[in-house]
């Protein structure tokens, strides 16, 4: 056993002096975005422990005062070229989100994120580089932009706009995502665009919820403490949504006896605590949620436990379109259906989910059975990727229907919402040009372009990869990786010297010979995308290095202050996009700073849930910059949509809030869409959807473990953020905890395989289904590839009135007309109309299709319905060819093989037959995503990352098995 | 849960005074690059501090002790785990001592030892747990530092603390740093 751990803390941490400068920001990691204060002071001018410090505290600081600076909360940064100390701590004064300065282990150590060449951040990308002879060489920004522009123009000319691709983060800051999407959509106008976790660039993440009329980020964090019962499906807020659990769910449990039902295959510290406090743990087999949820809904209607008052007032009593698969013709139709539907039977649910029937019945009773006096419990529903990255449409439809019949969705403490993953960073700068996407759909539908398959077929001549590992972040298929390598660094045409014209000529020649030029933009070396593949590697700046904005999972908008220099020649992404756009001759990219981007973007965003156009108008009226007005709101920020009422800016706590009271609108743009108080449908009432198993069951049966295979599902843990790019790899304290990927395995499964804690495992499979083709001109490819609801991407915020991504009211002079948000009458001539026109024409065609519209009185000009991304209106004839089994028959599926390595954690916290691993650690070998099939949901084209199985084999012992230096094998669900 | 009082021979009061003094003077310097070695010097200067006897310890029966000062944050737990541990002492290398204050928000971990897991916690505030076999590493939760571990030394039957690894919650300096 070791005498020292890997990470040995220092003996002293500097304390900020009284005159330290203070900046407000929010954490850069999970959706919750806790408020932080950054104290900055020159090195050598520390405060002291006797009270001469920024906290006015005589040390030691007492517990719960938030005045302690731990060693991992300190760093030395560069500001104006000089060394400064920073202490970055949860804001002890905040009354929202992380009340009192609470924090996660991620945000709590965020000071170590700052660039400091004396730390493991020393490998930040500092200069633009070009790959010549297999190595990266420094090059000037100006040359990179010339090269990129020349090659881009060539590619667009030779291959068309769709030959120019962009694969980008949607988690980053608004200024950056706005500039990049503006470039892709309004500059290049390419459909070959997708965000980091999606193959296709559009459609809602939770389509069953959107089709029901519910915005998937409608809740406010306080709702999670105001319910009597919370049912959480496919999500565990203790892990990586930490403060939702710490500050809101714990509060509900402790202060009002709130009961928490967790539907996950894995028990964590949070699940165990809830279970101990009158909650339930429903240990579900991966992918079977719809069966559980339907069975619960059936039990509820069988017993008449539905909230009939709510149902009669808030549920649509007829389908908006005839003859379709999913939408019920009101509650009675839903009831008839679910009482008869085979896949709502309790016995089937119990068998497939692995949850005993009695527990399912008990859970149904807890969430819905009225109290003895006839009053109802307030029940809320939370979901996340465990639910929707599997049977995407079915599961999201089922949980929403269950929630609605329990009376949830539009009141405090009675909500249906995502908890969220990363922060809400997408700020669209244009409209996805789906008219240019080459795949077609049944009827009027068009499929968004699947950038992975598109690239694999050699259709890209140029691709710009921004802030994502691309390969591992998607399903990590070997096919994608092999093809991307073949078209880039393994292509026969390679540069031989760092010379601008030579490089331009080389990349053009490579394009002519079937290859492509790849540009990567990131903050660190990322294997293999920029260490091996990319021709140009551009250094971006990051959190704390620019004033930037973003919203969290309750739509709370904050300014993330700049407090240190961006290293080397790194630049903010918005600036890089603007430099390139100007080289390309595109207009509208002449921003001087990030505030100008922010103000500009407001007018594109004014119909969305994060609308802040009122803030910009308010700032302008007062002669101020919008960033500065937002800075005044500090860590509190303000919840979108931001309204300007009674001469004050007002935040919106929750959406669809039937209790909302608004004041008199001030300002030019009234922010008062109907969905602030009602559901987001034509009628303002919610749709009940019939969630089907048939659209997923064939895939589930195929993927179900056979013989000695185990489920290999994946998710997050608190200590690692995403790929671990700046914490697991670069923070000794966190690397010590998780030096490698890990696999939780049940003791019985471990014993059968001779596996002990700390053994190194290989997890593999050789029948991983991968959807292929679609973009060649083969006969098979001319067949249907799947149906994608159109326009927008999930991160462009689901069904959010997508036409307003390119707001018809927006004008280049950055002023706006006084049209209300809900009014899309295109009454004023506008420069954007010419671009929007073809799309609008298509929408009208769709709506004229007589047999799909049941109610001729519907307002066909309603922008909401025109732009609804939807499974509504689909008929079985449309759906059937898109099923996995049909695609198999049609030769659209190939089998891939993959494996990854992980250290064994033997624990009964995972259910027998199920293993659980981190989804995207890529430090050694492949990520767990590689075992997931690449077969998207037939309705929504969403990936099914959580559905994988594998053969688990011990290949030896890890370095950690007999050492106390790193990694712990203890239970992560210890009861109190 | 019993508590161990210091033995008279170690003059704890005097030791504490030294500790405070050192904390106020020397350690401002330690933040400067290259000055961290100052901390090590003090480990030698600080007398070892008797906290208990092996013969008093029973496996999985933790004992709290007040250390290193007379203030609310100076609470440690001494425990014989019955399982070999990082920096464990005694014949079986299983005797360890840790701060009783959660390094997340300072929650009291007194009495939270879980013998089945050789762990402290879950913290009553936000449920963080710590692995006592692995230098107080966070098992699950939110703390930004491991649980400070006392360096132990055995002399005959006596157990002494000779250093502390990590800052006790609430403190900015550690005059008896074990680095």
Residue from B105, B149, B166, B174 whose CB has the most chain A CBs within 10 Å, to mutate: B105
pLDDT in tens, A887-945: 899 888 999 999 999 999 999 999 999 999 998 876 556 788 889 999 999 888 889 99
Backbone angles phi, psi at B129, to 5 degrees: -125, 155
| Contact predicate A639/A653, CB 8 Å | yes
Which is more confidently placed, A711 or A329? A711
Bridging pattern class, strands A35-42 and A82-90 = antiparallel
Task: Report the C-alpha gap between A773 and A786 in whole angstroms.
Answer: 12
Q: H-helix or E-strand containing A771?
A: strand A759-771
A312 is written with which tokens?
A: 């009669």
CB pair distance less than 8 Å for A64 and B105: yes
The answer to whether residue A69 neighbours chain B at the CB level (below 8 Å) is yes
Residue of B107, B142, B170 lying closest to A61 (CB–CB): B170
What number of C-beta contacts closer than 8 Å exist between A and B?
206
Confidence check on the interface: ipTM exceeds 0.95, yes or no: no
pLDDT of residue A882: 80
CB-CB neighbors (< 8 A) of A972 in chain B: 129, 139-140
> Would you tell me how many other CB atoms lie within 10 Å of the CB of residue A856?
7
Kindly state the average pLDDT of the residues B159-167.
Answer: 95
Task: Report the C-alpha gap between A639 and A218 in whole angstroms.
Answer: 11
CB-CB neighbors (< 8 A) of B106 in chain A: 61-65, 68
CB pair distance less than 8 Å for B71 and A60: yes
pLDDT in tens, A136-166: 999 999 999 999 999 999 999 999 999 999 9
Helices A289-302, A357-368: axis angle to 10 degrees equals 60
Q: For A549-558, A581-590, A777-786, A816-825, which range has the lowest pLDDT when averaged over its residues?
A: A816-825
CB pair distance less than 8 Å for A70 and B129: no
Structure-token match 């104006």, residue found:
A80
Q: Pick from A868, A696, A690, A787: which is nearest to A325 by CA? A: A690
- Cα angle A737-A388-A200, degrees, rounded to a multiple of 5: 100
pLDDT of residue A923: 55
Mean pLDDT (chain B, rounded): 80
Kindly state the average pLDDT of the residues A331-339.
Answer: 96
Task: Report the C-alpha gap between A38 and A28 in whole angstroms.
Answer: 13
Q: Pick from B105, B110, B112: which is nearest to A242 by CA? A: B105
> Would you tell me how many other CB atoms lie within 10 Å of the CB of residue A772?
21
Chain B: nearest CA to A281, how far in angstroms? 18
What residues 948-967 of chain A have any CB closer than 8 A to a CB of chain B? Answer: 964-965, 967
The answer to whether residue A266 neighbours chain B at the CB level (below 8 Å) is no
In chain B, DSSP finds a helix count (H) and a strand count (E) of 2, 10
Residue of B86, B112, B138 lying closest to A737 (CB–CB): B138
CB pair distance less than 8 Å for A59 and B36: no
Chain B: nearest CA to A381, how far in angstroms? 22
Q: Pick from A370, A390, A368, A394: which is nearest to A381 by CA? A: A368
Chain A: nearest CA to B79, how far in angstroms? 17
Catalytic positions of B, written as ranges: 104, 126
Q: Pick from A446, A514, A396, A477: which is nearest to A155 by CA? A: A514
**Mapping DSSP to helix (H, G, I), strand (E, B) and coil, where does residue B151 land?**
strand
CB pair distance less than 8 Å for A108 and B143: yes
Task: Report the C-alpha gap between A505 and A510 in whole angstroms.
Answer: 9
CB pair distance less than 8 Å for A70 and B145: yes
The answer to whether residue B121 neighbours chain A at the CB level (below 8 Å) is yes
Task: Report the C-alpha gap between A868 and A681 in whole angstroms.
Answer: 9
- Cα angle A917-A424-A649, degrees, rounded to a multiple of 5: 150
Q: Pick from A514, A467, A469, A449: which is nearest to A487 by CA? A: A514
The answer to whether residue B145 neighbours chain A at the CB level (below 8 Å) is yes
- Cα angle A392-A397-A400, degrees, rounded to a multiple of 5: 125
The answer to whether residue B138 neighbours chain A at the CB level (below 8 Å) is yes
pLDDT of residue A682: 85
Kindly state the average pLDDT of the residues A621-647.
Answer: 97
* Residues whose CB falls within 8 Å of the CB of residue A18, separated by 6 or more in sequence, listed in order: A47, A52, A53, A54, A56
Residue A608 predicted with pLDDT over 50: yes
Q: For A349-358, B12-21, B109-118, which range has the lowest pLDDT when averaged over its residues?
A: B12-21
Q: Which residue of A has its CA nearest to B173?
A: A12
Residue B164 predicted with pLDDT over 80: yes
Task: Report the C-alpha gap between B111 and B81 in whole angstroms.
Answer: 14
pLDDT of residue A772: 87
Chain A: nearest CA to B133, how far in angstroms? 7
* Residues whose CB falls within 8 Å of the CB of residue A406, separated by 6 or more in sequence, listed in order: A300, A306, A307, A367, A368, A379, A381
Kindly state the average pLDDT of the residues A20-44.
Answer: 98
What are residue A30's DSSP bridge partners?
Answer: A422
pLDDT in tens, A70-110: 999 999 999 999 999 999 999 999 999 999 999 999 999 99
Chain B: nearest CA to A655, how far in angstroms? 29
The answer to whether residue A250 neighbours chain B at the CB level (below 8 Å) is yes
| Contact predicate A852/A858, CB 8 Å | no
What are residue A39's DSSP bridge partners?
Answer: A22, A87
Task: Report the C-alpha gap between B146 and A715 in whole angstroms.
Answer: 24
Residue A845 predicted with pLDDT over 50: no
Residue A803, CB-side half-sphere exposure with 13 Å CA sphere? 27
pLDDT of residue A780: 57
* Residues whose CB falls within 8 Å of the CB of residue A178, separated by 6 or more in sequence, listed in order: A427, A428, A429, A574, A597, A600, A601, A604
The answer to whether residue B104 neighbours chain A at the CB level (below 8 Å) is yes
A507 is written with which tokens?
A: 């990349």
pLDDT of residue B81: 98
Q: For A676-690, A717-731, B21-35, which range has the lowest pLDDT when averaged over its residues?
A: B21-35
Structure-token match 């009495």, residue found:
B111
Residue from B140, B148, B151, B173 whose CB has the most chain A CBs within 10 Å, to mutate: B140
Kindly state the average pLDDT of the residues A443-464.
Answer: 83
pLDDT of residue A199: 86
Q: For A198-212, A577-591, A756-770, which range has the lowest pLDDT when averaged over its residues?
A: A198-212
Which is more confidently placed, A827 or B64? B64
pLDDT in tens, A560-600: 999 999 999 999 999 999 999 999 999 999 999 999 999 99
Long-range Cβ contacts of A821-826 (<8 Å, 24+ apart): A821/A606, A821/A607, A821/A611, A821/A669, A821/A670, A821/A671, A821/A672, A821/A673, A822/A673, A822/A674, A822/A863, A822/A864, A823/A863, A824/A861, A824/A862, A824/A863, A824/A866, A825/A861
The answer to whether residue B39 neighbours chain A at the CB level (below 8 Å) is yes
| Contact predicate B168/B74, CB 8 Å | yes
Residue B106 predicted with pLDDT over 50: yes
Residue B10 predicted with pLDDT over 50: no
The answer to whether residue B179 neighbours chain A at the CB level (below 8 Å) is yes
One DSSP character per residue, A590-651 reads --SSHHHHHHHHHTTSTTSTT--HHHHHHHHHTT--HHHHHHHTTTT-EESSPEEETTEEE-
Which domains occur in chain A, in start order?
21-113 (2.60.40.4210), 129-195+426-584 (3.40.50.740), 218-418 (3.40.228.10), 594-674 (no CATH), 698-772+892-957 (2.40.40.20)
Q: Pick from A889, A848, A886: which is nearest to A866 by CA? A: A848
Kindly provide the residue ranges of all beta strands, DSSP E only, lying in B8-157, ordered along the sequence: 49-53, 63-66, 75-80, 95-99, 119-120, 129-131, 137-140, 149-155
CB-CB neighbors (< 8 A) of B175 in chain A: 11
Residue B30 predicted with pLDDT over 70: no
Kindly state the average pLDDT of the residues A18-31.
Answer: 98
Structure-token match 């409209």, residue found:
A431
* Residues whose CB falls within 8 Å of the CB of residue A909, separated by 6 or more in sequence, listed in order: A266, A267, A268, A744, A971, A972, A973
CB-CB neighbors (< 8 A) of A66 in chain B: 105
Residue B32 predicted with pLDDT over 90: no
pLDDT in tens, A216-265: 999 999 999 999 999 999 999 999 899 999 999 999 999 999 999 999 99
Residue of B30, B127, B134 lying closest to A269 (CB–CB): B127
The answer to whether residue B114 neighbours chain A at the CB level (below 8 Å) is yes
What residues 9-28 of chain B have any CB closer than 8 A to a CB of chain A? Answer: 23-24, 27-28
pLDDT in tens, A271-325: 999 999 999 999 999 999 999 999 999 999 999 999 999 999 999 987 755 556 7
Kindly state the average pLDDT of the residues A481-490.
Answer: 96
pLDDT of residue A2: 62
The answer to whether residue B163 neighbours chain A at the CB level (below 8 Å) is no
Kindly provide the residue ranges of all beta strands, DSSP E only, lying in A169-273, ordered along the sequence: 193-195, 229-233, 259-264
pLDDT of residue A216: 95
With a pLDDT cut of 70, the percent of chain A lying above it is: 88
CB pair distance less than 8 Å for A971 and B139: yes
pLDDT band at A434 (very low <50, low <70, confident <90, very high): confident
Residue A555 predicted with pLDDT over 80: yes
> Would you tell me how many other CB atoms lie within 10 Å of the CB of residue A351?
14
Kindly state the average pLDDT of the residues B114-130.
Answer: 98
Chain B: nearest CA to A118, how far in angstroms? 10
Helices A694-703, A392-405: axis angle to 10 degrees equals 130
The answer to whether residue A59 neighbours chain B at the CB level (below 8 Å) is yes
Kindly state the average pLDDT of the residues A4-12.
Answer: 94
Task: Report the C-alpha gap between A182 and A190 in whole angstroms.
Answer: 11
CB-CB neighbors (< 8 A) of A737 in chain B: 137-138
Residue A783 predicted with pLDDT over 80: no
What residues 76-95 of chain B have any CB closer than 8 A to a CB of chain A? Answer: 84-88, 93
Backbone angles phi, psi at A441, to 5 degrees: -130, 170
Mean pLDDT (chain A, rounded): 88
- Cα angle A255-A256-A258, degrees, rounded to a multiple of 5: 115
For chain B, percent helix, then strand, then coil, each to nearest 5?
20, 30, 50
Residue B36 predicted with pLDDT over 90: no
Residue A448 predicted with pLDDT over 80: no
CB-CB neighbors (< 8 A) of A960 in chain B: none
pLDDT band at B152 (very low <50, low <70, confident <90, very high): very high
Residue from B70, B135, B165, B179 whose CB has the most chain A CBs within 10 Å, to mutate: B135
| Contact predicate B1/B64, CB 8 Å | yes
The CATH H-level (homologous superfamily) assignment of domain B2-165 is Rieske [2Fe-2S] iron-sulphur domain (2.102.10.10)
A565 is written with which tokens?
A: 């220099």
pLDDT of residue A774: 73
Residue B117 predicted with pLDDT over 60: yes
Q: Pick from A347, A370, A404: which is nearest to A231 by CA? A: A404
Residue A347 predicted with pLDDT over 50: yes
The answer to whether residue A49 neighbours chain B at the CB level (below 8 Å) is yes
The answer to whether residue A52 neighbours chain B at the CB level (below 8 Å) is no
pLDDT in tens, A353-384: 999 999 999 999 999 999 999 999 999 999 99
CB pair distance less than 8 Å for A105 and B23: no
Residue A868 predicted with pLDDT over 60: no
Q: What is the 3-state secondary structure (H, E, C) of A139-175?
A: CCHHHHHHHHHHHHHHHHHHHCHHHEEEEECCCCCHH
**Domain locations along chain B:** 2-165
Residue A116 predicted with pLDDT over 50: yes
Kindly state the average pLDDT of the residues A832-861.
Answer: 30
Backbone angles phi, psi at A682, to 5 degrees: -60, -40
Task: Report the C-alpha gap between A413 and A407 in whole angstroms.
Answer: 11
pLDDT of residue A817: 26
pLDDT of residue A779: 58
Q: Pick from A54, A116, A113, A41: which is nearest to A84 by CA? A: A41
Q: Which residue of B has its CA nearest to A72?
A: B144
Chain B: nearest CA to A709, how far in angstroms? 28
CB-CB neighbors (< 8 A) of B145 in chain A: 9, 70-72, 733
A509 is written with which tokens?
A: 């020649």
For residue A633, give Cα distances in angstroms to A559, A609, A651: 8, 19, 11
The dihedral formed by the CA atoms of A973, B1, B7 and B10, expressed in degrees to the nearest 10 = 20
Helices A500-512, A141-159: axis angle to 10 degrees equals 20
Q: For A223-232, A505-514, A561-570, A800-809, which range has the lowest pLDDT when averaged over its residues?
A: A800-809
With a pLDDT cut of 90, the percent of chain A lying above it is: 77
* Residues whose CB falls within 8 Å of the CB of residue A491, separated by 6 or more in sequence, listed in order: A510, A513, A514, A515
Bridging pattern class, strands A536-539 and A129-132 = antiparallel
The answer to whether residue B122 neighbours chain A at the CB level (below 8 Å) is yes
Residue of B27, B33, B179 lying closest to A8 (CB–CB): B179
CB pair distance less than 8 Å for B124 and A976: yes
Task: Report the C-alpha gap between A716 and A406 in whole angstroms.
Answer: 29
| Contact predicate A432/A195, CB 8 Å | no
CB pair distance less than 8 Å for A8 and B165: yes
């Amino acid at each position: 056993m070791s005498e020292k751990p890997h990470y040995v803390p220092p003996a002293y941490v500097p304390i900020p002096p009284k005159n330290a400068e203070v900046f407000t920001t929010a954490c850069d990691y999970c959706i919750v975005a806790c408020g932080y204060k950054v104290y900055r002071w020159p090195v050598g001018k520390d405060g002291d422990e006797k009270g001469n410090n920024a906290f006015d505290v005589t040390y030691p600081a007492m517990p719960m005062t938030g005045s302690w600076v731990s060693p991992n909360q300190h760093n030395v940064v560069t500001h104006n070229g000089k060394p400064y100390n920073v202490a970055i701590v949860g804001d002890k004064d905040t009354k929202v989100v992380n009340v009192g300065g609470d924090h996660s282990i991620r945000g709590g150590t965020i000071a170590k994120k700052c660039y400091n060449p004396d730390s493991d951040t020393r490998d930040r990308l500092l200069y633009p580089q070009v790959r010549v002879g297999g190595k990266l060489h420094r090059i000037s920004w100006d040359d990179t932009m010339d090269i990129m522009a020349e090659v881009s123009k060539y590619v667009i000319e030779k291959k068309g706009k769709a030959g120019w691709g962009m694969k980008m983060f949607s988690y980053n800051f608004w200024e950056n995502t706005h500039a990049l999407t503006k470039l892709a959509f309004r500059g290049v106008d390419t459909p070959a665009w997708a965000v980091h976790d999606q193959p296709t660039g559009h459609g809602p993440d939770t389509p069953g919820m959107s089709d029901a009329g519910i915005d998937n980020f409608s809740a406010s964090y306080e709702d999670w403490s105001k319910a009597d019962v919370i049912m959480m499906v496919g999500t565990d807020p203790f892990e990586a949504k930490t403060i939702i659990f710490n500050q809101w769910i714990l509060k509900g449990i402790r202060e009002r006896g709130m009961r928490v039902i967790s539907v996950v295959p894995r028990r964590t510290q949070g699940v165990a605590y809830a279970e101990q406090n009158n909650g339930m743990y429903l240990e579900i087999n991966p992918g079977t949620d719809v069966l559980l949820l339907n069975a619960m809904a059936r039990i509820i209607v069988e017993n008449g436990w539905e909230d009939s008052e709510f149902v009669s007032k808030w549920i649509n009593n007829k389908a908006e379109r005839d003859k379709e698969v999913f939408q019920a013709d009101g509650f009675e139709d839903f009831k008839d259906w679910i009482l008869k539907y085979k896949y709502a039977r309790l016995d089937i649910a119990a068998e497939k989910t692995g949850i005993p029937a009695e527990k399912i019945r008990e859970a149904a009773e807890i969430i819905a059975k009225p109290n003895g006096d006839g009053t109802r419990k307030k029940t809320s529903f939370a979901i996340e990727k465990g639910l929707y990255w599997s049977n995407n449409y079915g599961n999201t439809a089922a949980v929403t229907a269950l929630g609605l019949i329990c009376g949830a969705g539009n009141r405090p403490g009675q909500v249906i919402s995502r908890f969220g993953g990363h922060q809400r960073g997408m700020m669209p700068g244009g409209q996805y040009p789906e008219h240019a996407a080459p795949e077609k759909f049944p009827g009027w539908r068009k499929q968004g372009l699947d950038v992975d398959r598109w690239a694999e077929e050699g259709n890209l001549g140029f691709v710009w990869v921004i802030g994502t590992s691309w390969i591992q972040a998607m399903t990590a298929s070997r096919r994608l990786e092999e093809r991307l390598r073949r078209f880039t660094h393994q292509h026969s045409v390679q540069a031989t010297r760092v010379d601008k014209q030579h490089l331009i000529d080389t990349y053009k020649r490579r394009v002519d010979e079937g290859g492509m030029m790849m540009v990567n933009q990131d903050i660190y070396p990322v294997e293999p995308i920029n260490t091996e593949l990319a021709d140009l590697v551009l250094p971006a700046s990051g959190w704390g290095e620019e004033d930037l904005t973003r919203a969290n999972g309750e739509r709370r908008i904050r300014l993330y202050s700049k407090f240190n220099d961006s290293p080397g020649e790194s630049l903010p992404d918005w600036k890089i996009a603007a430099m390139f756009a100007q080289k390309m001759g595109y207009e509208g990219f002449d921003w001087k700073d990030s505030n100008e981007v922010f103000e500009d973007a407001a007018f594109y965003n004014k119909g969305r849930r994060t609308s802040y156009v009122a803030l910009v108008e308010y700032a302008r009226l007062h002669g101020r910059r919008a960033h500065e007005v937002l800075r005044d709101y500090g860590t509190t920020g303000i919840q979108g949509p931001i309204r300007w009422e009674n001469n004050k800016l007002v935040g919106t706590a929750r959406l669809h809030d039937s209790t909302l009271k608004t004041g008199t609108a001030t300002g030019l743009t009234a922010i008062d869409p109907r969905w602030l108080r009602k559901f987001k449908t034509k009628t303002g009432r919610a749709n009940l959807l019939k969630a089907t198993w048939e659209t997923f069951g064939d895939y589930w049966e195929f993927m179900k473990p056979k013989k000695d295979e185990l489920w290999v599902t994946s998710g997050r843990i608190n200590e690692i953020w995403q790929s671990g790019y700046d914490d697991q790899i670069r923070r000794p304290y966190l690397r010590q905890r998780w030096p490698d990927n890990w696999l939780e395995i049940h003791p019985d499964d471990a014993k059968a395989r001779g596996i002990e804690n700390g053994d190194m495992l290989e997890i593999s499979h050789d029948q991983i289904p991968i959807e292929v083709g679609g973009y060649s001109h083969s006969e098979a490819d001319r067949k249907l590839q799947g149906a994608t609801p159109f326009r927008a991407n999930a991160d462009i915020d689901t069904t959010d009135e997508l036409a307003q991504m390119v707001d018809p009211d927006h004008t280049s002079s950055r002023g706006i007309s006084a049209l209300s948000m809900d009014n899309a009458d295109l009454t004023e001539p506008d420069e954007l109309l010419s671009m929007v026109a073809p799309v609008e024409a298509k929408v009208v065609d769709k709506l004229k299709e007589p047999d799909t519209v049941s109610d001729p009185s519907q307002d066909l000009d309603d922008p909401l319905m025109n732009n609804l991304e939807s499974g509504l209106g689909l008929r079985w004839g449309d759906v059937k060819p898109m099923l996995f089994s049909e695609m198999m028959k049609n030769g659209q599926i190939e089998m891939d093989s993959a494996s990854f390595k992980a250290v064994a954690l033997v624990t009964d916290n995972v259910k027998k037959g199920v293993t659980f691993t981190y989804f995207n650690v890529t430090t050694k070998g492949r990520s767990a995503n590689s075992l997931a099939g690449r077969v998207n949901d037939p309705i929504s084209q969403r990936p099914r990352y959580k559905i994988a199985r594998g053969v688990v084999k011990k290949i030896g012992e890890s370095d950690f098995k007999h050492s106390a230096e790193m990694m712990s094998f203890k239970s992560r669900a210890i009861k109190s | 849960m019993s508590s161990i009082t210091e033995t008279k021979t170690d003059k704890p009061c005097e030791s504490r005074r030294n500790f405070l003094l050192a904390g106020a003077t020397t350690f401002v310097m330690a933040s400067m690059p290259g000055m961290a070695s100052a901390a090590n010097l003090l480990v030698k200067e600080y007398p070892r501090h008797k906290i208990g006897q092996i013969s008093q310890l029973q496996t999985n029966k933790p004992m709290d002790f007040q250390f290193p000062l007379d203030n609310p944050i100076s609470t440690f737990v001494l425990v014989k785990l019955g399982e070999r541990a990082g920096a464990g002492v005694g014949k079986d290398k299983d005797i360890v001592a840790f701060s009783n204050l959660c390094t997340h928000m300072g929650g009291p971990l007194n009495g939270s030892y879980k013998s089945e897991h050789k762990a402290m916690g879950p913290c009553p505030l936000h449920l963080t747990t710590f692995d006592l076999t692995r230098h107080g590493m966070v098992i699950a939760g939110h703390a930004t530092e491991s649980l400070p571990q006392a360096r132990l030394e055995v002399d005959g039957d006596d157990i002494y603390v000779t250093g502390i690894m990590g800052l006790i919650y609430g403190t900015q300096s550690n005059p008896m740093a074990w680095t």
